[in-house]
Structure 1
Amino acid sequence: MTAPTPLQKNNVNIAGKRDAGQAMVFVHGFGTDQGAWHKIVPAFSQTYRIVLLDQIGSGGSQSSAYSICNYLNLKPYADDLTDVLAHLDITNAVLVGHSVGAIVAVLAALQTPQRISKLVLLGANPRYLNEDGYTGGFARQDIDDIYREATQSYPDWLASFASAAMANPDRPELARYFAKCLNSYPPEWLLTVLCSVLQTDYRQEIGQLEIPAQIIQSRNDPFVPLATAEYMQSRIKHSVLQVIDADGHFPHLGAAEQVIAAMRGFLG
């Protein structure tokens, strides 16, 4: 059987200005797929070649390519992203990543800096677990509680997790959208990725980044405190922090106009 190409493996779709001199590559976060960028993409489609992909295990990615033992941390996802960039022979790209996808974008940028000119990082968190001198947003007990709730009553946990992540109680359609996305994932995959995300530590890696980066932070993000975003800005040499008037961990869905304005200000 012929192995899938990186484009097939990650269900890559090309849109926007196909003959543009610069590509904008979108990397979604945990529990969603490339469709999560639908409010952001149109704003840049007249200027950039748009590249959308589904990380393995999500959306239309090839399910046969996923194996729990091969995706226990974020590096394999970064390898997949670099394979896509190489297959398309992309250079001078703008990488836009959300949450887990933002850290995947950072890891890819460290692997192939010659292909990437700028990074836009939404809701990025290199380490979720608090420790002395560092605020990641979660105490050990918080993480243990998430594991327990997810394994004891998975459907209830999905609904409550989606609602907490969106943090827009007056817009319940946002939480319903995220819950629907989460529900499309195989439970064993979702829980494995959740565990790997909450236990990872990429603080050393972000400190090695040399590529200019914009950190976009919601005013009220239940998963990423402002202190975490400020920490990232202090560690990434050529970075700017933009705090936007938004609630929730998904500003590209709940506050798309603010995200677009922030990105335009950074990209010029």
Structure 2
Amino acid sequence: MGRKPNLNPNEEGRIESEEYGPLPGLDYQFFEYMQEGVTVYELMRDEAGEIVDLVITYANLAAYRQRKSLKKGLIGKSIIELYGSEAVSIDLKKANEVVTTGRGTEYDTYFAPVNKYFSVTAFSPKEDVYITLATDITKQRKAEEEMQIERQKLMDIIEFLPDATFVIDENKRVIAWNKAIEEMTGTLKEDILGKGEYAYSIPFYGEKRPILIDLIFLSEKEMEDKYAYVKREGKTLFAEVFVSNLFGGKGAYVSVKASPLCDRDGNLVGSIETVRDITELRKELCPK
């Protein structure tokens, strides 16, 4: 855009350029070199005193770069004129909140005119002056959306697995409980999703206690004390156990597999456990 500020060393707190004139009263030199997009506005009010528009009196280099796809100037224009009333409705609402309460605020917003997400800090340092500091968080937000899509795909796969399966997050809260485990335990997903503190052990043992999914990082001896058969392959555990509470109290011998779930950086974000009914197989292998 060819916008080059001309800092005037003879007048403290003032900045000049070919696009905007002297702006007294605030340290605009400090704003000019901030990484956040800094925009200063004059408040436009209706007869009732409500802020109905904001006129841009200053925008630093970062703010221009954040809006460069608009291919138009900013100084002296109102945000409704630039972006349309619908696109700035949240910004005007926040401006009224800040000026009315006298307290700054932080909020995230999607800004449709440039197809970007911003994290915004807003405050009013003096009467009829409103300032926003905007950080472009588009990459982070899109990464979160992509992760959420992938997570939903995983949940859909888990839901229709033939083996009884559940998943807990890093805080040991249940985040998936599929149809097969509903049938095995009699516990519906709506009654257990979001619950922690070993709630997932109650459908199996009638009490809150650690189960295989909790023992991933324990020693072989500690696991052997709780299971007749246990095997470790890497960080994945395998065990066999008789659980009397399953299938409405009929009980069943089950083969259990528990594995940690890690993110792309190798951080533990949860665990998954699958439970397979092997009662008939045990009867065949060990007839009375």
TM-score by length of 1: 0.22
In our comparison, the structure showing a higher alpha carbon Rg is: 2
More helix by share: 1
TM-score normalised by length of structure 2: 0.21
